[in-house]
Amino acid sequence: MAGPAVELIGVRKTFGDDVVAVDSLDLTIEDGEFFSLLGPSGCGKTTTLRMIAGFEFPTEGSIRVHGAEMGLMPPNERPINTVFQSYALFPHMTVFDNVAFGLQMRKVEKSDVESRVRRVLDQVQLARRADAKPNELSGGMQQRVALARALVNEPEVLLLDEPLGALDLKLRQNMQYELKDLQSRVGITFVYVTHDQEEALTMSDRIGVMSEGRLLQVGDSHEIYERPTSRFVAAFIGDINLVDAEVTGRGDARLINGVHVSIPEGHPDSGPVTLALRPERIAIHRQGETVPSGRNQMPAKITRRTYFGDVYYYDVDAGLTGVLDVKEENRPETGTHDIGDQVVVSWSLEAANLVSG
Amino acid sequence: MSVEAPVTPELERDARKAESRRGLRIGLPAYVYLVLFFALPLVLVFVYSFASRSSTGRTELRDWNLDSYQRLLDPLVIEIFVRSFALALVTTVVCLLVSYPFAYYIATRGPSLRNILLVLVMIPFWSNFLVRTYAWRVLLGTDGIASQISQALGGEEVRILFTNTAVLIGLVYGFLPFMVLPLYAAIERLDWNLVEAARDLYADGWTAFRKVTLPLSMPGVVAGSILVFIPTLGAYVTPAILGGARTVLLGDYIVSQFLAARNWPFGSALSFAVMFVMLLATIFYFRAGAKTL
């Protein structure tokens, strides 16, 4: 098996004459990686997955799996299996027959099929429900059958299309850990499609964020969250404040309200820039409190306080610059701020990101 | 201020009664219609089947007997039964083989083309069945299209009319929509993700069809087969027009008992026997269909 698990080179997919689902997509997914494609619905992530699976073929470009060109190869000839969003379990077959399907299609010896299916059902704790029909199982169990049905074939790449979407919150969180554990145990490359940023952040080795058919940024969870390069990625992952500023010199910019702030490197010599600031990276200081040196700061007024249990969310009005979201942990020793309080907000140089678009 | 009344068993019973009274009122027209025009005649036929027949052919409602039922075992009658059964079976199978690909094709088209095709399937219903069957006489006769093509190619003249083949063609033509529509309905609501899942699990197109599409469209196959088989078993018009007089089928035979032979008791017994066979066939078929699901 030469080459990375999956390579997409200049992939473009159009439907009809004017719908561009995926455009100029270049992506390399390494062997054994847990890779997530993250984006809102209609961003092209599912189309990308379907092209890797072989349900759709690229209009342009090339897809390789471990160096082998996929071209127009039908899905049944690809060393890839899929866990479908709605599970797509065969309703007229038992759990056992569902899981055995792929092995039977590949003419695996009958006794081998039996033992491999039993083993994988054991792994997903469904050995005792082997003779049940899918509709007799709960959503979580169906999900595990779908997983078992794909994994039993030991594919080179496993594609997962929002597999946790239909589960309730608690189950979904448990399954996130299970999936991640499973993936590191079996060592199979996972390509995971989701619109849920939390899922992507907690499970993935790397994430690719997509919007309108384009791959905007690829990086690990930390990079995607802390160092978004575009307005879209910044706003899609978590909450963020976007503050417009005008470059006034090297490392320096002026906000609309006249306050000068220092900005990270890599900015243009002049013109407008957008600063992205996470709510939890902004500190609120009471009037008269000293702000640690080296931090950007500006006066503001508390206009709203929302209690979330573990955190407080504040809307702070910074005049012309607009209203910023600020998140503070709920700690008795720091106290809270009241609506109408005049305060100073501050952030460190590293907390701000320059984003484009 | 309204005081909430405690829910007593009496109250619940009254509520249930009121509910069923309302249901009865809504269903009353249908009840009356079915009793008058279906159940009552059926009872009459059943009663007549035990009646006796005078020497002049009059039905006498006395001397009740089982003679008519005994006559069902006559080899000639059994032969007619077997022939009709075979024809109905072949018609159903041919309808199924022709309709399945067509229904599949319709169900997999875009919404607008799909609607046009469905209307096309139903257009024949807009003209009289008798007229359409007579049209086949023209097509299948010695100077019909089939014959002309054969002659143009240097062959002999082909006579299909007044043969079993003509009846089969007429029946398949007449009952095709009854097979296409249930099949379409079954295939259309198929979850195509399942077919993709089968392809994903190394099944080629044909195997995915055999293992997933076909078993999951079985309800349509069963419904369509019953809708075709039962009317063809007792078909009268098509065999009468296209089949000529040489081969007698159940439909002709029953009609002739009532009109020509004036043996109403035997005609009634025959009718009940056909209903019984249909019932058995239906039960058997539903069972078989349920098993594959």
Q: Identify the CATH number of the domain in which residue A245 sits.
A: 2.40.50.100
Using the Cβ of B201 and the Cβ atoms of chain A, whether some distance falls under 8 Å is answered with yes
Q: Look at residue A150 in the predicted model and tell me its pLDDT.
A: 95
- Annotated domain spans of chain B: 9-48, 68-292
Q: Look at residue A43 in the predicted model and tell me its pLDDT.
A: 94
Is residue A206 located within the same domain as residue A143? Answer: yes
Residue B227 has pLDDT above 60, yes or no: yes
Q: Look at residue A219 in the predicted model and tell me its pLDDT.
A: 96
B197 min Cα distance to partner chain A (Å): 6
Residue A87 has pLDDT above 90, yes or no: yes
Asked if A153 lies within 8 A of B201 by C-beta distance, the reply is: yes
Q: Look at residue B180 in the predicted model and tell me its pLDDT.
A: 95
Is residue A128 located within the same domain as residue A43? Answer: yes
Residue B291 has pLDDT above 70, yes or no: no
Least confident of A211-225, B33-47, B205-219, B240-254: B240-254
Asked if B196 lies within 8 A of A55 by C-beta distance, the reply is: yes
Which of B192, B194, B200 to mutate to probe the A interface, most A CBs <10 Å? B200
Q: Which of B191, B193, B207 sits opposite A105 (nearest CB)?
A: B207
Which of B189, B201, B218 to mutate to probe the A interface, most A CBs <10 Å? B201
Count of domains for chain A:
2
Using the Cβ of B260 and the Cβ atoms of chain A, whether some distance falls under 8 Å is answered with no
With a CB cutoff of 8 Å and minimum separation 6, the contacts of A211 are A39, A40, A43, A232, A236
Is residue A317 located within the same domain as residue A294? Answer: yes
Q: Which of A234, A252, A271 is the last residue of a domain?
A: A234
CB A217, CB A209: distance < 8 Å: yes
Q: Look at residue B145 in the predicted model and tell me its pLDDT.
A: 80
Q: What is the sign, positive or negative, of the torsion defined by CA atoms of A268, A271, A276, A281?
A: positive
Q: Look at residue B186 in the predicted model and tell me its pLDDT.
A: 94
A88 min Cα distance to partner chain B (Å): 5
Mean pLDDT to the nearest integer, B15-37 = 90
Mean pLDDT to the nearest integer, A109-130 = 93
pLDDT class of B162 with cuts at 50, 70, 90: confident
Using the Cβ of A16 and the Cβ atoms of chain B, whether some distance falls under 8 Å is answered with no
Q: Which candidate, A355, A166, A148, places its Cα nearest to that of B201? A: A148
Q: What percent of chain B has pLDDT over 70?
A: 96
- Arithmetic mean of pLDDT over chain A: 91
In the block, which residue shows the tokens 């209307």?
B119
B114 min Cα distance to partner chain A (Å): 19
**Which residues in chain B are closer than 8 Å to A80, comparing Cβ atoms?**
200
Residue A1: inside a domain? no
Q: Look at residue B28 in the predicted model and tell me its pLDDT.
A: 92
Q: What percent of chain A has pLDDT over 90?
A: 65
What residue of A is the nearest CA neighbor of B290? A92
A179 three-class SS: helix
Residue B293 has pLDDT above 60, yes or no: no
Asked if A88 lies within 8 A of B292 by C-beta distance, the reply is: no
Is residue A263 located within the same domain as residue A229? Answer: no
Asked if B203 lies within 8 A of A92 by C-beta distance, the reply is: no
**CB count in 10 Å sphere of residue A148:** 22
Using the Cβ of A153 and the Cβ atoms of chain B, whether some distance falls under 8 Å is answered with yes
A57 min Cα distance to partner chain B (Å): 14
CATH number of the domain enclosing A57: 3.40.50.300
Asked if B200 lies within 8 A of A76 by C-beta distance, the reply is: yes
Q: Which of A183, A206, A234 is the last residue of a domain?
A: A234
With a CB cutoff of 8 Å and minimum separation 6, the contacts of A92 are A133, B215, B216, B292, B293
Asked if A75 lies within 8 A of B199 by C-beta distance, the reply is: yes
What residue of A is the nearest CA neighbor of B207? A105
Using the Cβ of A57 and the Cβ atoms of chain B, whether some distance falls under 8 Å is answered with no
pLDDT class of A255 with cuts at 50, 70, 90: confident
- CA dist A277 and B202 (Å) reads 48
CB A285, CB A291: distance < 8 Å: yes
Asked if B202 lies within 8 A of A105 by C-beta distance, the reply is: yes
A252 min Cα distance to partner chain B (Å): 55
Asked if A76 lies within 8 A of B203 by C-beta distance, the reply is: yes
Name the residue range of residue A131's domain. Answer: 6-234
Q: Which candidate, A345, A295, A348, A288, places its Cα nearest to that of A316? A: A345
Two tokens at B105? 């094709």
Q: Look at residue A270 in the predicted model and tell me its pLDDT.
A: 81
Asked if A149 lies within 8 A of B201 by C-beta distance, the reply is: yes
- Residue A210 or A322, more confident: A210
Asked if B201 lies within 8 A of A101 by C-beta distance, the reply is: yes
Q: Look at residue B140 in the predicted model and tell me its pLDDT.
A: 84
Asked if A88 lies within 8 A of B196 by C-beta distance, the reply is: yes
What residue of B is the nearest CA neighbor of A83? B197
**Which residues in chain B are closer than 8 Å to A85, comparing Cβ atoms?**
193
Q: Is the domain B68-292 a CATH 1.10.3720.10 member?
A: yes
Least confident of A5-14, A150-159, B269-278: B269-278
A278 three-class SS: coil
Residue B5 has pLDDT above 80, yes or no: no
A81 min Cα distance to partner chain B (Å): 6
Residue A130: inside a domain? yes
**Which residues in chain A are closer than 8 Å to B201, comparing Cβ atoms?**
76, 81, 101-102, 105, 149, 153
Q: Which of A77, A84, A106 sits opposite B197 (nearest CB)?
A: A84
What residue of A is the nearest CA neighbor of B292? A92
Q: Which of A209, A234, A259 is the last residue of a domain?
A: A234
Q: Which of A86, A92, A150 sits opposite B216 (nearest CB)?
A: A92
A29 three-class SS: strand
pTM of the model: 0.81
What residue of A is the nearest CA neighbor of B218? A92
- CA dist B190 and B38 (Å) reads 37
pLDDT class of B19 with cuts at 50, 70, 90: confident
pLDDT class of B185 with cuts at 50, 70, 90: very high
**Which residues in chain A are closer than 8 Å to B191, comparing Cβ atoms?**
86, 88
Mean pLDDT to the nearest integer, A206-224 = 95
Is residue A244 located within the same domain as residue A309? Answer: yes
Residue B157 has pLDDT above 80, yes or no: no
**CB count in 10 Å sphere of residue B169:** 21
Residue A1 has pLDDT above 70, yes or no: no
Is residue A147 located within the same domain as residue A295? Answer: no
Using the Cβ of A15 and the Cβ atoms of chain B, whether some distance falls under 8 Å is answered with no
Give the tens place of pLDDT for each residue, A270-311. Answer: 888 888 999 999 999 998 888 888 899 889 999 999 999 999
- CA dist A330 and A185 (Å) reads 38
Using the Cβ of B189 and the Cβ atoms of chain A, whether some distance falls under 8 Å is answered with no
**A2-to-A35, A81, A208, B63, B148 alpha-carbon distances in Å:** 19, 19, 23, 93, 66
Q: Which of B191, B202, B292 sits opposite A76 (nearest CB)?
A: B202
Is residue A229 located within the same domain as residue A264? Answer: no
Q: Look at residue A165 in the predicted model and tell me its pLDDT.
A: 82
What b/e string do you get for A11-34 counting C-beta neighbours within 10 Å, with b at 16 or more? bebeeeeeebbbbebebebeeebb
Mean pLDDT to the nearest integer, B275-293 = 78
Asked if B202 lies within 8 A of A90 by C-beta distance, the reply is: no
Q: Look at residue A225 in the predicted model and tell me its pLDDT.
A: 93
**Which residues in chain A are closer than 8 Å to B292, comparing Cβ atoms?**
92
**ipTM for this model:** 0.84
Q: Look at residue B228 in the predicted model and tell me its pLDDT.
A: 94
- Residue B24 or A135, more confident: A135
Q: Look at residue A223 in the predicted model and tell me its pLDDT.
A: 93
Is residue A218 located within the same domain as residue A315? Answer: no
Least confident of A168-182, B33-47, B169-183: A168-182
Is residue A220 located within the same domain as residue A340? Answer: no
Residue A64: inside a domain? yes
